[in-house]
Amino acid sequence: MTWHDSLQIVLTAIASIGGAGTIFWKLSAHIGNMWAKTYLEKIKKEYQKEIENYKAQLAIIKATYIRYSNRQFELYNKLWESLCELKFSADNLWEEANEENLLDFSKRLSRTIRDVEKSYLFIEEEHYKELIKLLEEFGNYEFGKAKLIKLKNYRNEIDRNKIIKLINDNKNKKQRYNELIDIVKKDLKKQLKENYL
């Protein structure tokens, strides 16, 4: 065998191995691509399930928020109505301090206090504190008016200066609850605009 024949055998062997290598390389690349596609599909399905799960959770949160917001809106309206009625009653008591107006005011004050307490879970903490402060002012006003009515009944025995002082104290209390009602009104209106309009 000659050197040329040996080289021919070696080159033929390399060519045949190269051809098989190429076939092997192409086949393994094709199998690798199939596995990669299968793996990507599996990951895609898992992420799709996760996305669907997040969408379902978001829908639940949205529905809960809408229910909460609607309930809060109803309660704010009810509270505002109760506060207006209380203010009207307080104004009537200011105009004419008598037992009938005092009784009406006392009932409305009690009702408004109950309404605020029942609504605690749905109203903002800041608004709750403002409402409690306002109701305390109304309570002070009620006490002052009750005291004035008693003094009026014993007018002959009481110094006129005490009555004038009590009227001025009640006037100051009325001004404070009017100022507080304006603050509460602005805050409630802002709350409604931010959340419902």
Question: Between the CA of residue 81 and those of 76, 85, 100, 125, what are the distances in Å?
Answer: 9, 6, 21, 19
Measured at the CA of 82, the angle between CA 76 and CA 87, to 5 degrees, comes to 125
Q: Is residue 124 part of a domain?
A: yes
Q: Is residue 33 part of a domain?
A: no
| Predicted local distance difference test score (pLDDT) of residue 107 | 92
Query: Does 165 map to a domain?
Result: yes
Q: Give yes or no for a contact between 67 and 122, defined as CB atoms under 8 angstroms apart.
A: no
Tell me, yes or no, whether 52 lies in a domain.
Answer: no
Is 132 domain-assigned? Answer: yes
What pLDDT is attached to residue 36?
78
**Is the residue at 150 inside a domain?**
yes
Integer CA distances (angstroms), 94 to 25, 87, 112, in order: 99, 10, 19
The pLDDT score that the predictor gives to residue 21 is 59
Gyration radius from the chain CA atoms: 42
Overall domain count for the chain: 1
C-beta of residue 101 within 8 angstroms of C-beta of residue 89: yes
Which pLDDT value is given to residue 10? Answer: 57
Q: Identify the domain containing residue 127 by its residue range.
A: 70-196
What is the reported pLDDT for 185? Answer: 77
Residue 96 belongs to domain with CATH number: 1.20.1440
Q: How far apart are CA 176 and CA 179, in angstroms?
A: 5
Identity of residue 74: E
Domain for residue 154, yes or no? yes
Task: Please report, in tens digits, the pLDDT of each residue of the chain (197 residues total).
Answer: 676 666 566 556 555 555 555 665 566 667 777 887 888 888 889 989 998 998 888 888 888 877 877 777 788 888 888 888 988 988 888 888 888 988 898 899 899 989 988 888 877 888 888 888 888 887 887 878 787 777 776 655 566 777 777 778 877 777 877 777 777 777 777 766 776 55
